[in-house]
Amino acid sequence: MNIKKLGKLVLPYLVWMSVLVGLPLLMMVVLTFLKSNALDLGTAEFSFDSWRILFSDVTVRIALKNSFVNGIIATIICFVIGYPIAYIVANSNFSNKLIILVLTIIPMWSNSLLRNNAIANILSERSIVNDVLSNIGLNFIWPIRGVVYESGFSPAVVIGLVLTYLPFMILPIYTVLEKIDKSLLEASMDLGSNKIKTFFKVTFPLSIKGVTTGIIMVFLPSFSGFAIPKILGSGSLVFIGTLIDSRFMNRNYNFGSLLSLVILLIIFGSMALIFKVDKEGETLI
């Protein structure tokens, strides 16, 4: 296939992406430099108002803190749970590991909104779990939906984040562990290392690519997500995703666009880090 024919095939895709992705992104950037709520570009006035608010608004700092705290906690829990699962599956003698991986990602096949609404009902005061705990005198530990600590930590939101994004931690780590040359582990054992020392000196360093990719793939949606904090979070707990939603709902498109641009830059930076750590694309499954 020559370049001319290839260009004809690529052209519709480029037009499609330019209209539906490139143009909205350009409009979003332009809106950040206009006066608040100015949508008529013909009469709009250039202004840095949105940028000044970004660095001075207390609500933005609180939203970033809440999103960061819950995102970090969810990422740590996903790593603590996901790495052992990936390690066990990669080193098991089970003939068809695909079945275990399919069982791992089955929750991803269900609608995220339905799944998180179900979680919200389970964690609420009217759930069966709360009724059972009340009957045995343990109702003081339930419900946890709506519980928020001063640090911004919301147990319900973290549970939702972990249940939603755990597969994104397991899969890249499993992919890297599966490709580790078993002769390296045998050589370490032959040189006198036990299994624990071999794991920390050989296995874990060789799986850093998968760990880095998994951390980024879990933290980014946990930090910038909207649906899970909206459904499982307390109404008074603001996250960066819910803040963007409220700004657009209040027709403050300029500041909402600026917050979205900040998140987009964080995503681009994280993707650049993934490609730098994993140049061969081994973990991008």
Write down the domain spans for the chain.
58-277
Q: What is the mean pLDDT of the chain?
A: 80
Residues 6+ apart with CB under 8 A from 271: 216
Nearest-angstrom CA–CA distance, 91 and 182: 10
pLDDT tier for residue 162 given thresholds of 50, 70 and 90: very high
Select from 118, 117, 120 the least CA-distant residue to 146: 120
Supply the pLDDT for residue 32: 81
Give the length of the chain. Answer: 285
Nearest-angstrom CA–CA distance, 275 and 281: 7
Indicate the range of 46-60, 173-187, 248-262, 267-281 predicted with least confidence.
Answer: 267-281
Cβ–Cβ under 8 Å, residues 19 and 239:
no
Q: Does residue 154 have a pLDDT over 60?
A: yes
Nearest-angstrom CA–CA distance, 245 and 252: 10
At what angle are helices 58-91 and 155-178 packed, to 10 degrees?
40
Q: What is the mean pLDDT of residues 194-211?
A: 87
Architecture of domain 58-277: Orthogonal Bundle (1.10)
DSSP 3-22: HHHHHHHHHHHHHHHIIIII
pLDDT tier for residue 2 given thresholds of 50, 70 and 90: low
Q: What is the mean pLDDT of residues 111-116?
A: 80
Supply the pLDDT for residue 278: 64
Quick one: how far is CA 59 from the chain centroid?
22
Supply the pLDDT for residue 257: 85
Comparing 208 with 122, the larger pLDDT belongs to 208
Nearest-angstrom CA–CA distance, 162 and 254: 32
Q: Does residue 40 have a pLDDT over 60?
A: no
Supply the pLDDT for residue 112: 78
Helix (H, G, I), strand (E, B) or coil at 189: helix
Comparing 270 with 220, the larger pLDDT belongs to 220
> What digits encode the pLDDT tens for the residues 163-187?
899 999 998 999 898 888 888 877 8
Q: Does residue 158 have a pLDDT over 70?
A: yes
Q: What is the mean pLDDT of residues 248-259?
A: 84
